Amino acid sequence: MTVDTTTLPCGMRLVHAEVPDTQMVALCVLYRVGARNEDPDHTGWAHLLEHLMFEGTPRVPDYDSRVQYIGGENNAFTNNDFTSFYITVPREHAETAFYLEADRMQGLTFDERSVQVQKQVVIEEFKQRFLSQPYGDVQHLIRALAYRVHPYRWPTIGVHPSHIELATPDALRAFYHRFYRPDNAILAVAGAISWKEAQALAEKYFTDYCSLFTDHCSLFSNHSVPLPPEPLQMRMRRKTVRRDVPMDMIALSWHMADHFSPDFYVCDVITDLLAAGQSGRLAQHLISEQGLFNQIDAYITGSIDAGLLIVEGRLNPDVTLPQAEAAIRSEVEQLKHEPVSDYELEKVRNRFESDRLWSSINPVNVAVSLAQHALYGTTPAEEIRRYRAVTAADVQRVARSVLTNKNCSVLYYRSIR
């Protein structure tokens, strides 16, 4: 797959890949704004603004209806580092997709009704998914325990629904004008569209809008305020909570490398070695053989700045939390002291590569991936090369440096039943 890229006069990065055997075109507009850019007393606003982006503009009062009318589909997601919008349309309606994305980049009205409606939607989501659902507050607890300074200490949904209540139309409009700008965005285009056509449409619909941002640029030019670095964790942290949940749960988290470090890929490989499906070490040893857990996983947060490598699992009855913790630590120690076999490492590499190659068939997956790779300064092919470059020695070295006791935060999530 050939990836073309350029920076438009408006400052927006354009990335493109033509996908064979499809009649669809996908656009992904990635804005460099997420929960990391929020005020600690006004969290959840990046996610709220994602919702408001579907409320329409004076020119397109109903975004979703317009997309459906031309046979398209669209969605979006927000995380701690960025907000990503994607739309897929038949190739003959590609120009409409460019128009719709450019229009809502600079045309939201923030009327009182729309803001109130979306505030209530997000607050209800917060209550249902994070306050009422069993284990819903786990990510809040993990992040608050592991981070002291960096805004990664709260999840994308925010700290509390009351922060969403504080959002006013004027405050949200200022947030929007600060971050929803062409020079703070990446546009990825994939599917049945040539590089020449993608450039022409991007120039037409985004560069020509640049003059509309003149006043906002002077007011909100500093959209990349440096964030406070998280100090090194020098001792183990522990927290125990009690909740009305079916079974005890445990989570161990370790600070790891940022997304621009080669060790980022090593940490991702470590979690795959531990928990890549039923063949992962944790499932084999702690579920099948020892019967300590009924569910266990290992993953990285994938953050731009230094993120977390997390192992979490739900215990079987009559298993104590100290037993579960000791079993996880035993698996971690094995990574430090016994080099992983070539067979096991190759299995993880092949799984990763096949997943990436399979996703390249779908234009929207390609567009979303291209936008994120542009943010990280890589390409899909380069990412595969970096994972393939991870060696058994790398795994052992990073396990010894990252998976230490002083770098670890332990959450005991006890059932009161």
Tens digit of each residue's pLDDT (9 = 90 or more) over 96-115: 999 999 999 988 989 999 99
Q: Which domains does the chain have, with CATH numbers?
A: 4-219 (3.30.830.10), 237-415 (3.30.830.10)
Q: 369 in the Ramachandran plot: left (φ > 0), alpha (ψ -120 to 50) or beta? A: alpha
Q: Which among 264, 276, 326, 273 is positioned nearest to 300, based on CA atoms? A: 264
Check if the beta carbon of residue 311 is closer than 8 Å to that of residue 251.
yes
What H or E segment, with its residue span, contains residue 31? strand 24-31
Of 20-34, 209-223, 309-323, 373-387, the poorest mean pLDDT is in 209-223
- Mean pLDDT of all residues in 52-79: 95
How far is residue 284's CA from residue 275's CA, in Å, rounded to a whole number? 9
Task: Please give the torsion angle defined by the CA atoms of residues 399, 410, 156 and 370, in that order, rounded to the nearest 10 degrees.
Answer: 10
Pairing mode of beta strands 13-18, 24-31: unpaired
How far is residue 322's CA from residue 161's CA, in Å, rounded to a whole number? 34
Non-local CB neighbours of 366 within 8 Å, separated by 6+ positions: 1, 17, 19, 26, 188, 190, 191, 359, 360
pLDDT for the residue 222 = 45
Place of tokens 């120009």: 95
Strands (E), 159-287: 185-191, 237-243, 249-255
Asked whether residue 213 carries a pLDDT value surpassing 80, the answer given is no
Q: State the maximum Cα–Cα separation within the chain, in Å, rounded to a whole number.
A: 66
- Mean pLDDT of all residues in 278-285: 92
Of 64-78, 165-179, 222-236, the poorest mean pLDDT is in 222-236
Count of all residues that appear for the chain in the document: 417
Q: Which among 243, 402, 179, 410 is positioned nearest to 311, based on CA atoms? A: 410
Q: What is the mean pLDDT of the chain?
A: 93
Work out the pLDDT band at 214, boundaries 50, 70, 90: very low
Asked whether residue 292 carries a pLDDT value surpassing 50, the answer given is yes
- Mean pLDDT of all residues in 249-263: 97
pLDDT for the residue 215 = 47
pLDDT for the residue 217 = 45
Work out the pLDDT band at 279, boundaries 50, 70, 90: confident
Non-local CB neighbours of 219 within 8 Å, separated by 6+ positions: 177
Question: What percent of the chain has a predicted confidence (pLDDT) above 90?
Answer: 87
pLDDT for the residue 154 = 98
Asked whether residue 390 carries a pLDDT value surpassing 90, the answer given is yes
Compute the half-sphere exposure of residue 149: CA atoms within 13 Å on the CB side of its CA: 10
Work out the pLDDT band at 220, boundaries 50, 70, 90: very low
How far is residue 248's CA from residue 206's CA, in Å, rounded to a whole number? 52
